[in-house]
Chain A
Amino acid sequence: MTLTDQMTALKTILIKEVLRFSRIWVQTILPPAITMALYFVIFGKLIGSAIDTSATDGYSYIDYIVPGLIMMSVITNSYSNVVSSFYSAKYQGHIQELLVSPTPNTIILIGFIGGGVIRGLMVGAIVTLVSLFFTDMDVQHPFLTVITLFLTSVLFATAGLINAVYAKSFDDISIVPVFVLTPLTYLGGVFYSIKLLSPFWQTMSLVNPVLYMVNGFRYGILGVSDISIYISLAIILIFIVILFSIAYFLLDKGVGIRS
C-alpha cells in the first residue's frame, strides 16, 4: 500500500469516526456541555464563592477549577469515544472490514485514536465556550495549553483502545471509566491544589498520572501549577509511547480480534 493509499485509509477512518459520534451527538457532545455547566454553577459560583483564594494560588475558585474541568471532559470523551467505537466494531464484527484490508495496523491505530482526539478536543472547545459564561479566560501560555490538551487526549484515546481490545462485554468498557478513570481524575487536582493535602497524600498524588495533565493544562491557562510543566509533558509523552506500543502489539497479534 503506497503512502497516498495509507493516507486515504486514514482519512476514511477519521471521517467514519467523526460521522459516528456526530450522528449520536445527543449522547456524545451534549451531555458533557450540560454536566460541566452544572459544575461551573454549583462548584464554581455557589460553593466556590465561599472558598478562600489563598487555597487556589490567589485565583478565584472558578478560575482555578476551569482548566481541570475542561481537561476532565477531554479525558473522558477521548477515552469513551475509542473504547465504545472499537468495542462496537468488535462486537458487531465490522472491525473485519479493516482487518481484511491492506490498511496497516499503525493507520488503524492512528485512525481510531484520531477519532477519539477529535471528539475530545471538540467537547473541550464546547466546555471552554460554556465556561466563558462564568469566567473570563486569559490564557497565559497558548502553545503549552494546546499541546498539553492534545497530548492528554492522545494518551487517553490510546488507553481506550487497549480497554476495548480486552473487553468481552459492554460491562468491561464501563468498568475502567467508572472505577479507574473517574477516581484518578477527581483525585488529580481538578478541584484542589495538592498543597492542601498532608505530605503523605501529596506524595501519593504524584503517582496519579492525571495530576500531571491537569497541572500542565492549568499552567498553560493560569500560569500556576503544582508540578513543573516540563515534568508534566515528559510524563504524558512517556505514557503515550508505552500505551501506543502496547496497543500496536495487541493489534498486531490480533488479541481479541483474531482467533
Chain B
Amino acid sequence: MSKALQITNLSKTYGNGFTALKGVSLSVEKGDFFALLGANGAGKSTMIGIISSLVNKTSGEVNIHGFDLDTQRSEAKAMIGLVPQEFNFNVFEPVEEILLNQAGYYGVGRSEAKVRAKQLLEQLELWDKRKNMASELSGGMKRRLMIARALIHRPQLLILDEPTAGVDIEIRRSMWDFLKKLNEAGITIILTTHYLEEAENLCRNIAIINKGDIVENTSMKALLSHLQTETFILDLKEPLDALPETDEFILRQIDASTLEVELNKDHSINRIFEVLNTHGIRVSSLRNKTNRLEELFIELVQQSNHDTTQEVSA
C-alpha cells in the first residue's frame, strides 16, 4: 500500500552553495499525524517547499499517495493542502474570493466551491468576515483563512508549517481541536512547529531534522521513552528551612517555598510526596520544569551538532 508521503534521498543545494537537505529519506503513513521538528534553518521549510512544488529539488524522489511528483505532478499536487509559514494570500481580495479562486485552481467549479467555502468558513469561525478584505483580518483569522484555503479542494495530505505561530492560546486550542477532527476524518497531517507541547499533544510520529539531516524518526511514544529523568517544580505551602535528605531523587531549592525535583523514570512520582510528607513538607502545586519533548529535542540536536563537529575534526 502506498504511503501518504515517501521521500527518498532528497537533496537541495541553493544557488549560493548552501545545502539545505543532504539526501533525506522519510515516509509518513496514511492517516498519521506527523511532527517535523527542527531549529530555524534546519531544512524543514525547504523540505515542505519541495513537496509542495515551491522549491526545485537538486536530487531525490518525492511520492505523494502513490503519485510521483516528477512524472505525475498534477495528481500528486491535487493530494496536498499547504498552510505555509508566511501569509501568502492577496490581502486586497475578499476572504470568500480567496477560497473560491483556490478551489478553481484545482478544477472545482464556482457553485460547488461556494458550498465548500461556506462550510469551511463556518467551521473556522470566519463566515462573518467572508466579505472583508483579507488585510482587515487579525493574525489568528489570517492563519485560519490559510487553513480553510488549504482544505478547499479536499486534500488527502495537509501540511502545516508553523500554523499556530503568533496565535493566542484560546485560538491555538481551538485550532488543535479542528486539526484533530480532520485527522480523525482520515486526513494525514504533517506539522512543523516551534511549540513542542503542540507536537506532543497532537502527533503520533515524529522526525527531527538538523542541518539538513534527519536525526530521529520514530513514534512520539518511543521518543519520549528515551527520557531518563524528568524534572518537576514544586510550590510549597510553607517556606522551607532545610532540604530533606534522600538518595531516591535529586532535590534542589530554588527559593524559600519552591523546590526542583529530578526524578529517574524508574521511580514513581508518588515517592516524592511520600518522602516530603515524612518531613512535614506540604506541596500546593506541581508542574514540569520544561516540556518533555523539548528536553529530548535539545538533547538530540546537540548530539547531532557534536557528531558533525567530530566528523569535521576527523
Contact = CB atoms under 8 A, between A and B. Distances in A.
A103 B102 CA distance: 10
Interface stretch (B46-54, B162-170, B186-194, B290-298): B46-54
B154 to A, nearest CB: 13
Given A1-B74, A1-B78, A258-B54, A97 B89 contact: yes
Contact of B54 (A4, A6, A99, A103): A99
24 contacts: A2-B107, A4-B107, A5-B107, A9-B105, A9-B106, A11-B104, A88-B90, A92-B90, A92-B91, A93-B88, A94-B88, A94-B90, A96-B54, A97-B88, A97-B102, A99-B53, A99-B54, A100-B80, A100-B82, A102-B78, A102-B105, A102-B106, A103-B105, A254-B56
Interface in B54-95: 54-56, 73-75, 77-78, 80, 82, 84, 86-93
Nearest to A259: B55
B53 to A, nearest CB: 6
Nearest to A10: B104
A259 B56 contact: yes
A13 B101 CA distance: 7
B109 interface: yes
A112 to B, nearest CB: 13
CB-based closest 10 A-B pairs: A5-B107, A12-B104, A93-B88, A101-B105, A102-B74, A102-B77, A94-B90, A1-B74, A8-B107, A103-B105
Given A8-B109, A16-B97, A93-B84, 19 more contacts: A8-B108, A9-B105, A9-B107, A12-B105, A88-B90, A92-B88, A92-B90, A93-B87, A96-B84, A97-B88, A97-B101, A97-B105, A100-B53, A100-B80, A100-B82, A101-B105, A102-B105, A254-B56, A259-B14
Max chain B C-beta neighbours (<10 A), residue from A2, A93, A98, A100: A100
Contacts of B75: 102
A89 interface: yes
Contact of B105 (A92, A93, A98, A254): A98
A12 B112 CA distance: 13
B97 A19 contact: yes
Which size class do B's interface residues fall under?
35 or more
B156 to A, nearest CB: 14
Nearest to A97: B102
Contacts of B97: 16, 19
Interface in A201-223: none
Interface string A56-67: 000000000000
Contact-residue bracket for chain A: 20 to 34
Contacts of A9: 104-107
Nearest to B73: A102
A251 B124 CA distance: 34
A258 B58 CA distance: 13
Contacts of B93: 16
A104 interface: yes
Interface centre among B78, B97, B106 (most CB of A within 10 A): B106
B115 to A, nearest CB: 15
Given A258-B55, A259-B49, A259-B56, A104 B89 contact: no
A11 to B, nearest CB: 7
B66 to A, nearest CB: 15
Contacts of A99: 53-54
Most A CB contacts (10 A, CB to CB) among B77, B90, B102 go to B90
Contacts of B109: 8
Nearest to B91: A92
A258 B14 CA distance: 11
A1 B104 CA distance: 12
Contacts of A103: 105-106
Interface string A96-132: 1111111110000000000000000000000000000
B104 A8 contact: yes
A12 B100 CA distance: 8
A101 B107 CA distance: 9
A103 B88 CA distance: 18
A248 B149 CA distance: 27
Contacts of B90: 88-89, 92, 94
B272 to A, nearest CB: 51
Nearest to B88: A93
Contacts of A259: 14-15, 49, 54-56
A114 to B, nearest CB: 14
Nearest to A9: B105
A243 B82 CA distance: 32
B104 A100 contact: no
A225 to B, nearest CB: 42
